[in-house]
Structure 1
Amino acid sequence: MSIVVDTRPTVGEGLLGEYFGGAALAGPVLAQRREALNFTFAETGPGSGVPGVFSARWRGSIRPTRGGATRFRVESDDGVRVWIAGKLIVDDWTPHSPSTREGQVDLAQGVDHPVFVEYFNSGGGGVLRLTQMRPGDNGFAPVPATELFAARAGSTANLAATRPATMSSVSNGGLASRAVDGNVNGAISANSIAHSGLQSQPWWQVDLGSSVPLDYVRIWKRTDCCADRAQDLTVFVAGFDMTSRTHASLVADPLVATRTFGASTINDFIDVPVSAAGRYVRVQKTTTPTSYLNLAEVQVFGLTSGAPTIATPAAQSTRTGTAVSLALTAADPDNDPLAFRATGLPPGLAIDAFRGMISGSPTTAGSYRPTVTVTDPIGLAASASFNWSVTGGQPRVTALEATPVQAGATKSYAPTIADGAGATFSWRFGDGAADTAFSASSATSHVFARPGVFSVVLVMRASDGAISTYAFDQAVFAVGAGTPGGTSSGGSAHQPSGAGLGRLWVVNRDNDTVSVIDLDGRRLLAEVPVGRKPWSLVLTGRNQIWVANRESASITVVDGATYQVLRTIALPAGSRPSDVATVGQWGDVAVTLEATGQIMLLGPLGENYGVGDAGPGPRRIAVNAARDKAYISRFITPPIRGESTAAPSAEAKPTKKKKKKNKKGDDKLAKSAAPSPAAAFGGEIRVIGLSGMVERTIVLGPSDAVDTEVSGRGVPNYLGAMAISPDGKTGWVPSKMDNVYRGMLRDGQPLNFQNTVRAIVSRVDLTTGLEDLSSRIDVDNAGVVSAVAIHPNGAYLFAALETTRTVAVLDPVGKRELMRVPVGQAPNALTLLPGGRWLVAHNLMDRSVSMIDLQPLLTNGDRRLAVASTIRTIGTEKLTATVLRGKQLFYDAVDTRLARDGYISCASCHDDGEGDGRVWDLTGFGEGLRNTISLQGHGGMAQGFLHWTGNFDEVQDFEKQIRDLAGGTGLMTEAAYLAGTRAQPLGDKKAGLSADLDALAAYVSSLTVTPRSPYAAANGGLTAAGQAGLAAFNRLQCGTCHAGTPYTISAGATALRSVGTIKPASGKRLGETLTRLDVPTLRGAWATAPYLHDGSAPTLQAAIKAHTTLAVPDADLDSLAAFVRELGPQ
């Protein structure tokens, strides 16, 4: 085995620059220095005796601190050629005014890649700058000298002169030897041209006599005609004769150095960097059509080399199973890279291919005498031998079964121990029990009295007293675990199929399709078009997939075997069906109608059994195991008491009676359960029986925890589907928590990246219908839990963390996070496959699903989980690449440019581009109390300036909020952001300075469709009440402010208006006195309660009455509100 030993300097000083008088890279070197390429040359030249007309060559290497596809930009005046990592990325060898050229090459982090740059300046001053843009960079920046390392001084000796040369064919008397005769005259009449016959890919080759490290090859062209015969060439360097080899085979051979160029402009010659050792140099036409090869001269420049040396390592002594690392010390007089090989190493050890060390863990005791040999590029070598003693190792566990156990049962452990001779063992069970005494037996048993996940540690003491440990998790489940306690709705559903893993169905919201995935074959089987914006789906007992289409207000029924659409069930227009779930014993399907606040019950053939009142904004559904109760999560939490003021609270609220409808659709009055003693303002879950009656409202109350780095206050919001424990007694509800108690006005503390939104999972006692607030889990460093799933054993709770691209594994009893598994972008649905071994996450923004194998955790208590397979969910993306990229950024908080520690994404407050129903205290940002605005239908800047005070004049102004609130470093470069007035809203334009910031703006600007109002007439027009309201709207001249198609005059500061709603808590505009507000659109207002800038109007009527500049007769109030309520996209 061979490696390159790292004897390199750790910090670069720049490339080696060599300057020549004149533009032809000829004559003596007038100046030599180490430098980065960032020059503006005066008319008098670069100094050090170099004239104004000059040429230069820089050689060395670049060692990137960040690898990947790196784009380089060269600004030059005049000609320049740039080779990096053996690739000609810029070829611009002509006089010209300052201009830029770009090229891209893949670079490995920490690896030296050769750099070779040649430049000429024909006078009048000049410029040469080399900049780079690495993966993750927002723009180009100079390549720093610290990443550039100088080459050794080059040789001026031509190693190819008079050496034996051959060609693939000869014509016109142009023998191969003419290219090494020292005559660079480019005219064929001077008898100096090596001239091939007409053939495909003709070649010329020279034998240097021995392998030597080469710097570059200079190829002189024919000058009397036929310049193309010295273009489109490949230079090969090898240690063997290449006469019998084809061009293609040489290109594919890793032992051959290959350099290819087109070189459209060659004056007399072109220099081709080699930076490799070899004996034979071959020049060959790259293109395959028949052609001639004409060479005036081929000169090869390189250096001879001295032998390397190696220090003999000291004798080594190691235990088996113990990790070791031994650095080898070698040197070379020419500073050549060195290769090592080793023989006779103890089993389990090898030479690391990158760090120049012998490393590993010895597996077999014994005495060894390894030999290491160091070799330079031309084969000169040195060797050293030394002793290595390996003795018996530290005891270690090689196998241990730790499957979940029921509380109160005996759990036995019988670990397999390696190197355990003479060792003793002690157990620590993590449940409060005393450690066991050290014993010669490693086996033990223990009774865990209560459920939970316990950290068990086996302590191993070797015969010499050395201590080692082995830790694992032991899951302990409660009586009744093993079967699902219920089902939860969402964007994915499992379809069993024989003995395998079956199939997974997922919704593709942006593609208006659903997909079916073969989980055994790890492949996409089909993508089925459905309605607009499919939101959730469910598998029914008839092997049918029912899909709720949010924007087309329909359900698509798909055959689970043929993937054909069987029928489409129309639902009330504008009702925005969100989730579907099967209930009862006869295959009935419940669907939440989020826009109308109802739940509809459909028969297995689509029969309409009627609707019931589910309260405002019902979305996700959980159904118990008996299938007779549905738990409906209200996605957006209603305003808490005083939320529109400086002092929000969470006082108790009365429980009201709700009107329900039975299966026949008749109204009847449902008797609500007695209010819970804990009933308060907060997140709401309606418990609905098969009769369609609300039996109880479960309230998830606010948290009064102290705002710290790991905890915080807030109100649960964005409630997802409850996961029900296997015993049916507990429900776990995913959500975020909004800290509306914080802000400079409310508590004197500014909103920050970690105490504005936090991810939580709340525990509900389903027997009492009350939340157990003390068992709530605050998932640190995350902004929202979009979905949860509980393992059939009840010991593990899985949480999809939308902002962090991870799935967290939680201990529900210990109220703690155990680990996170990285998945794709914006995971928003989790599916546990039967048996509990596989967890599948649906990654909304990656268009993929991630299959996580839980076997290590379930069998061995091993937390090292990983994604086993990632499967794409769509064929052709419907969104444009720019809009998709913008939407991915909108949902992400992992990218540190967007957010700090994974908390705040744009979607944290604008899920699907809508609002979150909250009033935030933005006083610390120069504003005041502000009601979150929906982005849907606004089209970015299509309706004028943004926000309630019109303080943004481009979507790109959110760069400031990304930095100031979310804690991101910004999508723009620091230099671009701080230039001029760009750091301020309404300052210099930010558009066009960051591709990702522009993509984010493109997504926001794509939100042009206003959701249809469910209150409009069947044809989408106005009802009679709406018509009456329109007449009042015109009569009262409301169109003065709410004008035109968008029903707003929003444009800029001149279009702000005051209608008497500004209060002291309204704060300021951009830190200045607030006297007027931006006029909001009326379209879609039906869906955006509460109203006004501070959310102080709970209804449209209240919002209208709040206008002190408009006297609305009581007779017109309801009809005017009806008109506004019915406005949608129509």
Structure 2
Amino acid sequence: MRRAHAGIPLAIFLAGAALASCGDGATDKPPPAPFALGAIVGPAVAYVGENVCFSLPITGGPTAEVAWNLGDGTAVPPAMLFTMVCHTYTEPGRRLLGATAIYKGQKLVATRGVAVVRKPMAIRPNTSSTIVLDAKHRHLWVANTDHDHVARLDADVPAFLPQSLVNCGAPRTLAISGAILAAACQGDGTVVFYDLDKDETRGKIDLGPGSAPFGVVADPRGEGVFFVTLSGTGELAAVRAEDHKILSKIPVFPDVRGVAALADGTVLVTRWRATAEGANVAVIDGAFPAALAAGEPLLLPPDVGLDSDTNNSGVPSFLNQIVPSPDGGRAIVPSLRANTVTGMYRTGKPLSFETTARAILTEIELGGPTGTPFERKAGRYAFDDLDFASAAVFSPEGDVIYVAIQGAERVEVRDAVSFDVAGSIDDVGHAPDGLVLSEDGKTLWVHASLSRLVNVYDVSDLSSPPVPLGGIATAVSEVLFEDVLRGKQIFYSSRDPRMSRTSYMSCASCHLDGEGDNLVWDFTQRGEGLRNTTPLAGRAGTAHGPLHWSANFDEVQDFEHDIRGPMGGTGFLPDDVFHAGMIDQTLGAPKEGLSAELDALASYVASLGSFGKSPFRSNDPAALASRQKGKDIFFSAEAGCSTCHAPPRFTDSALAADKNYVLHDVGTLGPGSGSRLGGPLPGLDTPTLRGLWKSAPYLHDGSAPTLRAVLRDRNATDQHGKTSHLGDADLDDLERYLLTLDDDEP
């Protein structure tokens, strides 16, 4: 080996090629091979802090001089026969290597890339997902929420028909620990276990009425322990499959959803819906055996001043999942950035279709190796021309991240450090919301939940579009009516230019799962004002009366106006039809029957007839007595609450043939309340009180963060029912009653 040149870092060493003998001088020697370089040989992934070597095959240049560029600012000057170089990288990132060989005046260059990552943990982190791979038995398991079952599929295509082996109410996510599968069933408040080896159900745990479990993840340390987020009660539970036992349960914050677990005992939990102050992620100590200890939540504050054609201000919204990197040093949160910062009233600037919402990734630095305190730093990456980022998965080495974009129906492939484009997969099916990779990282399965398919792709070579290997059905039959399913697909799709220009928005951008995002938007430019998103779930379309706080829509088909306006779509009605007669007025001629797509959309929204089960329902005698006292106050003539909020709908709102809707001024209108249909806003349509436990903040402008604020702070003049005479105990009872108004009898 030649001596290294002065200035070359000690981390680099070079090896020369052996010189071949020139032979015995015979005249019939073959002509020398032309001077040429082969491809640089070496690993595709290098680990930070570990030595890695690359070599350069050379033919026809026995005395060539070779110079190297290692891609991180380290350069090796030309020297004879330096055909191998070794180096230790100190920072992660994708590096472009270059080798330049010079021989008899000829200069040839070879380049290649290498991904530098931190070394994966020996026991990889786990995260909740709608789809999991049982590699041992070559099975996929998929949560079929609409079908109330978990299906087992063959992992390879072509596949046999799926089998529905776990039945429960609205399963949302799945996890595997050893030979045990766990399903979090939001609809019936249970976690169900299945033995993968014995092919049989292993029982379930009932987590309580209204608990609404959403995320489930296996503790990487084993022992059949799972962590479960209870979205209804705002708690995290640790459960064990072997004896169906709840090991521990702690409060976190409202709306918990995504959950991930690291082998050092760290558990990460997301808050699904943001507040005006931002989104939340909690870092929890899951000390073995799962004696949970809550940590202080990390606030992901809103971004401001970012509005452009490629970015927007706003808060991270709809945090369904949190995905730790394989090395455990950081986590990625896919979500949507909702622009509740900008608007004509708030900033004097209008929202455009490009600045209202878009897909983002939030990157949270976890602090590195086990034992290092969490640094709680966070950065964000915004996607251009794409809506909600619904799920993500890292490659096994952590050099690439795959991101499902729900409405655009595609998977974005990004460098896991820089987030530069590494590829993309288009047309992956309706509403992709789950991703899983094979253990070798060569096969990607995409759960397109509203296509009722898992689409399979060969991702072994990302230099060209990944090859589709086929689709695997997730259900044998369909449980939704054809028009409802089609309407749901339209509701979630931003891909269709009739819905949204350049795939930025869909109905689900504010109403994921048929709920509301619990955010307050500035709709002043729409002729409205500050508007707290109204949930759709439970209201069954127009079964509770006209739509919106100002009763400016009287049929779901009127959303054609929002689609054509702020969403930037071309609309589902032909222009000549839309502008005929009074169809282009929201309370004008009916649109029903004019568009199959709008009618299907209305059918889906009308199917959303359930509010769910309140977690505030209790059979405890003291709670029952308090609720009854609150109910008595509510229906008393003095309070007068039931005058406008009479059961069973708890609203006096109703459709009217003359479109002359009764609006009430209950003393909450203010400068930001805006207008209605181009004129003054005389009052507000009465909202139902069912589902209050999950729809804070309250009032049309979100100015009441709690029910106590509605009853006292925002009702000082008793225009919104008479409550000024009530003491704290009476208000406690009234709040308890209001928070229990769900699908059950009042």
Q: What TM-score range do you get, normalising by the shorter chain? A: 0.7 to 0.9
Do 1:398 and 1:416's aligned partners in 2 also have CA atoms closer than 8 Å?
no
For each residue in 1:805-857, what CA deviation from the matched residue of structure 2 results, as whole angstroms up to 9, or x when unmatched? 12222223224333222222222122222222223221122211122323114
Aligned equivalents of 1:1029, 1:1000: Cα separation in 2:
38
Residue 441 of structure 1 and its aligned partner are, at CA, apart by 10
For each residue in 1:237-262, what CA deviation from the matched residue of structure 2 results, as whole angstroms up to 9, or x when unmatched? xxxxxxxxxxxxxxxxxxxxxxxxxx
Map of 2:280 onto structure 1 = 683
Are positions 1:476 and 2:113 aligned together?
no
Aligned equivalents of 1:563, 1:1027: Cα separation in 2:
48
Do 2:204 and 2:244's aligned partners in 1 also have CA atoms closer than 8 Å?
no
Map of 2:726 onto structure 1 = 1114
Q: In the alignment, residue 133 of structure 2 is paired with which amino acid?
A: H
Residue 581 of structure 1 and its aligned partner are, at CA, apart by 2.0
For each residue in 1:653-701, what CA deviation from the matched residue of structure 2 results, as whole angstroms up to 9, or x when unmatched? xxxxxxxxxxxxxxxxxxxxxxxxxxxx533324243322212322222
Equivalent residue for 1:885, pick from 466, 470, 486:
486
For each residue in 1:445-464, what CA deviation from the matched residue of structure 2 results, as whole angstroms up to 9, or x when unmatched? 57473321235679999x99
Identify if the C-alpha distance between structure 1 residues 1041 and 413 changes in structure 2 by more than 3 Å, giving closer, same or farther.
farther
Do 1:762 and 1:771's aligned partners in 2 also have CA atoms closer than 8 Å?
no
Do 2:157 and 2:469's aligned partners in 1 also have CA atoms closer than 8 Å?
no
SS in 1 for 2:537: coil
CA RMSD of aligned residues (A): 3.4
Residue 1029 of structure 1 and its aligned partner are, at CA, apart by 1.6
Map of 1:1049 onto structure 2 = 652
SS in 2 for 1:1045: coil
Identify if the C-alpha distance between structure 1 residues 688 and 1094 changes in structure 2 by more than 3 Å, giving closer, same or farther.
farther
For each residue in 1:764-794, what CA deviation from the matched residue of structure 2 results, as whole angstroms up to 9, or x when unmatched? 2222434434x42222222222222222322
Q: In the alignment, residue 94 of structure 2 is paired with which amino acid?
A: V
Do 1:800 and 1:808's aligned partners in 2 also have CA atoms closer than 8 Å?
yes
Identify if the C-alpha distance between structure 1 residues 464 and 700 changes in structure 2 by more than 3 Å, giving closer, same or farther.
same
Residue 753 of structure 1 and its aligned partner are, at CA, apart by 1.6
Are positions 1:489 and 2:96 aligned together?
no
Aligned equivalents of 1:951, 1:720: Cα separation in 2:
32
Are positions 1:984 and 2:585 aligned together?
yes
Aligned equivalents of 1:883, 1:591: Cα separation in 2:
31
Equivalent residue for 2:414, pick from 779, 803, 810:
810
Are positions 1:777 and 2:381 aligned together?
yes
Map of 2:695 onto structure 1 = 1088
Structure 2 segments unaligned to the other structure (5+ residues): 1-35, 368-372
Aligned equivalents of 1:829, 1:484: Cα separation in 2:
22
Residue 433 of structure 1 and its aligned partner are, at CA, apart by 5.7
Residue 623 of structure 1 and its aligned partner are, at CA, apart by 0.3
Aligned equivalents of 1:434, 1:711: Cα separation in 2:
37
Aligned equivalents of 1:888, 1:538: Cα separation in 2:
26
Aligned equivalents of 2:326, 2:316: Cα separation in 1:
24
Do 2:538 and 2:610's aligned partners in 1 also have CA atoms closer than 8 Å?
yes
Do 2:205 and 2:245's aligned partners in 1 also have CA atoms closer than 8 Å?
no
Residue 537 of structure 1 and its aligned partner are, at CA, apart by 1.6
Do 2:171 and 2:183's aligned partners in 1 also have CA atoms closer than 8 Å?
yes
After superposing the two structures, state which structure 1 stretch, 1116-1125 or 696-705, moved more.
696-705
Residue 801 of structure 1 and its aligned partner are, at CA, apart by 1.5
Do 1:579 and 1:591's aligned partners in 2 also have CA atoms closer than 8 Å?
yes
Residue 916 of structure 1 and its aligned partner are, at CA, apart by 0.9
For each residue in 1:875-904, what CA deviation from the matched residue of structure 2 results, as whole angstroms up to 9, or x when unmatched? 101111111111111111111111122221
Identify if the C-alpha distance between structure 1 residues 865 and 1083 changes in structure 2 by more than 3 Å, giving closer, same or farther.
same
Are positions 1:1011 and 2:612 aligned together?
yes
Do 1:410 and 1:446's aligned partners in 2 also have CA atoms closer than 8 Å?
yes
Identify if the C-alpha distance between structure 1 residues 975 and 487 changes in structure 2 by more than 3 Å, giving closer, same or farther.
same
Are positions 1:611 and 2:218 aligned together?
no
Do 1:492 and 1:842's aligned partners in 2 also have CA atoms closer than 8 Å?
yes
Bigger fraction of residues in strand: 1
Q: In the alignment, residue 1057 of structure 1 is paired with which amino acid?
A: H
Map of 1:1075 onto structure 2 = 682
Do 1:790 and 1:797's aligned partners in 2 also have CA atoms closer than 8 Å?
yes
Aligned equivalents of 1:440, 1:1000: Cα separation in 2:
71
- How many pairs does the alignment contain? 682
Residue 521 of structure 1 and its aligned partner are, at CA, apart by 4.7
Do 1:699 and 1:770's aligned partners in 2 also have CA atoms closer than 8 Å?
no
Map of 1:625 onto structure 2 = 263
Residue 483 of structure 1 and its aligned partner are, at CA, apart by 4.5
Identify if the C-alpha distance between structure 1 residues 507 and 440 changes in structure 2 by more than 3 Å, giving closer, same or farther.
farther
SS in 1 for 2:295: strand
Do 1:683 and 1:715's aligned partners in 2 also have CA atoms closer than 8 Å?
no
Report the structure number with the largest CA radius of gyration: 1
Identify if the C-alpha distance between structure 1 residues 981 and 944 changes in structure 2 by more than 3 Å, giving closer, same or farther.
same
For each residue in 1:714-743, what CA deviation from the matched residue of structure 2 results, as whole angstroms up to 9, or x when unmatched? 212212332222322212222222221111
Q: In the alignment, residue 743 of structure 2 is paired with which amino acid?
A: P
Map of 2:181 onto structure 1 = 545
Q: In the alignment, residue 972 of structure 1 is paired with which amino acid?
A: L
Aligned equivalents of 2:556, 2:122: Cα separation in 1:
49
Do 2:190 and 2:207's aligned partners in 1 also have CA atoms closer than 8 Å?
yes
The 5-angstrom pairing of residues 507-546 of structure 1 reads 507-523=143-159, 524-541=161-178, 543-546=179-182
Identify if the C-alpha distance between structure 1 residues 889 and 455 changes in structure 2 by more than 3 Å, giving closer, same or farther.
farther
Equivalent residue for 2:51, pick from 387, 409, 423:
409
Residue 712 of structure 1 and its aligned partner are, at CA, apart by 2.4
The 5-angstrom pairing of residues 57-72 of structure 1 reads none
Are positions 1:452 and 2:77 aligned together?
no
Aligned equivalents of 2:356, 2:617: Cα separation in 1:
37
Aligned equivalents of 1:918, 1:993: Cα separation in 2:
32
Do 1:448 and 1:476's aligned partners in 2 also have CA atoms closer than 8 Å?
no
Aligned equivalents of 1:442, 1:709: Cα separation in 2:
49
Q: In the alignment, residue 126 of structure 2 is paired with which amino acid?
A: T
Runs of 4+ in 1 over 4 A off after TM superposition: 395-402, 413-417, 423-437, 439-448, 455-461, 467-473, 1018-1022
Aligned equivalents of 1:745, 1:561: Cα separation in 2:
60
Map of 1:847 onto structure 2 = 452
TM-score (norm 1): 0.56
Q: In the alignment, residue 829 of structure 1 is paired with which amino acid?
A: G
Identify if the C-alpha distance between structure 1 residues 504 and 1119 changes in structure 2 by more than 3 Å, giving closer, same or farther.
same
Aligned equivalents of 1:1019, 1:981: Cα separation in 2:
56
Map of 2:193 onto structure 1 = 557
Do 2:117 and 2:398's aligned partners in 1 also have CA atoms closer than 8 Å?
yes
Equivalent residue for 1:819, pick from 423, 431, 434:
423
Aligned equivalents of 1:474, 1:999: Cα separation in 2:
49
Give the percent of matched residue pairs that are identical in Structure 1 and Structure 2: 34
The 5-angstrom pairing of residues 827-842 of structure 1 reads 827-842=432-447
Identify if the C-alpha distance between structure 1 residues 942 and 428 changes in structure 2 by more than 3 Å, giving closer, same or farther.
farther
Identify if the C-alpha distance between structure 1 residues 853 and 1093 changes in structure 2 by more than 3 Å, giving closer, same or farther.
same
Residue 1021 of structure 1 and its aligned partner are, at CA, apart by 14
For each residue in 1:335-378, what CA deviation from the matched residue of structure 2 results, as whole angstroms up to 9, or x when unmatched? xxxxxxxxxxxxxxxxxxxxxxxxxxxxxxxxxxxxxxxxxxxx
Are positions 1:1060 and 2:667 aligned together?
yes
Identify if the C-alpha distance between structure 1 residues 522 and 441 changes in structure 2 by more than 3 Å, giving closer, same or farther.
farther
Aligned equivalents of 1:1038, 1:929: Cα separation in 2:
25
Identify if the C-alpha distance between structure 1 residues 886 and 458 changes in structure 2 by more than 3 Å, giving closer, same or farther.
farther
Question: Which structure exhibits the higher relative contact order, with contacts defined as CA atoms closer than 8 Å and separated by 6 or more residues?
Answer: 2
Q: In the alignment, residue 454 of structure 1 is paired with which amino acid?
A: R
Aligned equivalents of 1:845, 1:566: Cα separation in 2:
29
Aligned equivalents of 1:433, 1:711: Cα separation in 2:
35
Aligned equivalents of 1:415, 1:530: Cα separation in 2:
59
Aligned equivalents of 1:751, 1:824: Cα separation in 2:
30
Do 2:162 and 2:473's aligned partners in 1 also have CA atoms closer than 8 Å?
no
Are positions 1:974 and 2:575 aligned together?
yes
Residue 759 of structure 1 and its aligned partner are, at CA, apart by 1.5
Q: In the alignment, residue 887 of structure 1 is paired with which amino acid?
A: K
Aligned equivalents of 2:436, 2:225: Cα separation in 1:
22
The 5-angstrom pairing of residues 199-218 of structure 1 reads none
